[in-house]
Structure 1
Amino acid sequence: MKKSLLLLFVLTSVTAFSQVNYDTISLKTDEECREANKYALHAADYLLTNPYNKDDVKRLKSVQFISKWMEATPDFTFIFDITVSEKVVKGNEDLLGYYMAGMTKFCLENVEKSKNDAVVMVSTIKMLLAYCENPKNNLTMPPALQKLSDANKKGELIKALE
């Protein structure tokens, strides 16, 4: 009986958490932003573990929430430089949402390393490459990102980003 109740509780909790309504999450105060960290990570995990589908409303809502959270959070600073626009997302603007998801995931899971912009960028690009290189994820890499993928396979990613 106890096992059945525990299983029911876990399934109910997982189902409730997976159906987050991001529109209802307030990001007006620092404390609300910190409380929303778990939802930002949830959104990032959703994006990075599900195949790309342009028409997926949950994908769009996840990207929108991450964007709002990134702008509001007092605990992290997110840098989008020319490298990101020219070498990562150029040619496929949907990649920006996945890049933001990678940054969010990396920073929330590696708080100490999140202060080093270069480490965040390289780690995020590696995460994005892993996602895009999986054909099941249906996200085609533009030529600039493909060059980074080739460089990463040779252990030359940092050099290719210079």
Structure 2
Amino acid sequence: MKNILLIVLLSVLSVQSKAQNLSIPENPKLEVAEDYKKYEDLVLRCVSYLYDNPVNVNGEKRLECMSFLVKWMDGAPNVTVFIHAELVDMKEFEVMFAYMGAFVEYALGHEDADELKIISYAVKKSVSMYEKNEDHLKKGKVMRKLLRAKKKGKLDSYIKDVYR
């Protein structure tokens, strides 16, 4: 019993520690391309934070990360996020942010990647985030289709068919 309590305590402290190390500016200067480039590391750390931490923990820090990502994506000259309604449900808020974050993450790390590869990565990462947090998230129509395709081993072909 003591071991279980110790593991839970260490997990909570680890999550809180990560959140405290993630300092997000309230009003980031995002005017020219260099401004956006300067914040790419923070963008990637926010994406990791949103993916790595449960959706029901530290909601304030999640909202800070989401808000910052929206500001950055709104004017980023080198990344344009494409959302397909059959791959991402705008009403599935947390999943949508997982998708957008993964899209940005892959696009920044693979500047020459084609759109289908980026979208495929983003969809798979958003499905994975959903699966990690399914007890706290609503499963909408889009996610049900994605999970069905994944279960059948046909997620890649489903994404490709929708993308066309």
Q: TM-score range by the shorter chain?
A: 0.7 to 0.9
Indicate the residue corresponding to 2:105 in structure 1.
105
Report the Cα distance in structure 1 between the residues aligned to 2:57 and 2:22, rounded to whole angstroms: 19
Report the Cα distance in structure 2 between the residues aligned to 1:131 and 1:54, rounded to whole angstroms: 14
Report the Cα offset of residue 34 of structure 1: 0.3
* Equivalent of residue 76 in structure 2, options 50, 65, 73: 73
1:56 aligns with 2:54: no
Report the Cα offset of residue 55 of structure 1: 7.1
How many equivalent pairs are there?
144
Between 1:101-110 and 1:36-45, the stretch displaced more is 101-110
Report the Cα distance in structure 1 between the residues aligned to 2:138 and 2:19, rounded to whole angstroms: 32
Indicate the residue corresponding to 1:42 in structure 2.
45
Indicate the residue corresponding to 2:125 in structure 1.
127
Report the Cα distance in structure 1 between the residues aligned to 2:71 and 2:90, rounded to whole angstroms: 22
Report the Cα distance in structure 2 between the residues aligned to 1:22 and 1:46, rounded to whole angstroms: 16
SS at match of 2:79: coil
- Would the alpha carbon gap of residues 34 and 93 (structure 1) be closer, same or farther in structure 2, given more than 3 Å must change? same
* Gapped regions of structure 1 (runs ≥ 5): 1-13
Report the Cα offset of residue 91 of structure 1: 4.7
- Would the alpha carbon gap of residues 38 and 137 (structure 1) be closer, same or farther in structure 2, given more than 3 Å must change? farther
- Would the alpha carbon gap of residues 137 and 48 (structure 1) be closer, same or farther in structure 2, given more than 3 Å must change? farther
Indicate the residue corresponding to 1:21 in structure 2.
24
Report the Cα distance in structure 2 between the residues aligned to 1:52 and 1:61, rounded to whole angstroms: 13
* Gapped regions of structure 2 (runs ≥ 5): 1-16
- Would the alpha carbon gap of residues 90 and 35 (structure 1) be closer, same or farther in structure 2, given more than 3 Å must change? closer
- Would the alpha carbon gap of residues 15 and 57 (structure 1) be closer, same or farther in structure 2, given more than 3 Å must change? closer
* Equivalent of residue 139 in structure 1, options 120, 137, 156: 137
Instruction: State the one-letter code of the partner of 1:97.
Output: F
**TM-score normalised per structure 2:** 0.75
| 8 A contact 2:51–2:98 mirrored in 1 | yes
**TM-score normalised per structure 1:** 0.75
Report the Cα offset of residue 49 of structure 1: 0.4
Indicate the residue corresponding to 1:10 in structure 2.
none
Indicate the residue corresponding to 2:14 in structure 1.
none
| 8 A contact 1:87–1:148 mirrored in 2 | yes
Between 1:132-141 and 1:149-158, the stretch displaced more is 132-141
- Would the alpha carbon gap of residues 132 and 16 (structure 1) be closer, same or farther in structure 2, given more than 3 Å must change? closer
| 8 A contact 1:90–1:144 mirrored in 2 | no
1:118 aligns with 2:121: no
Cα deviation per residue 1:67-93 (whole Å; 9 max; x = unaligned)? Answer: 11112111122222xx3x344225523
Report the Cα distance in structure 1 between the residues aligned to 2:158 and 2:104, rounded to whole angstroms: 23
Indicate the residue corresponding to 1:33 in structure 2.
36
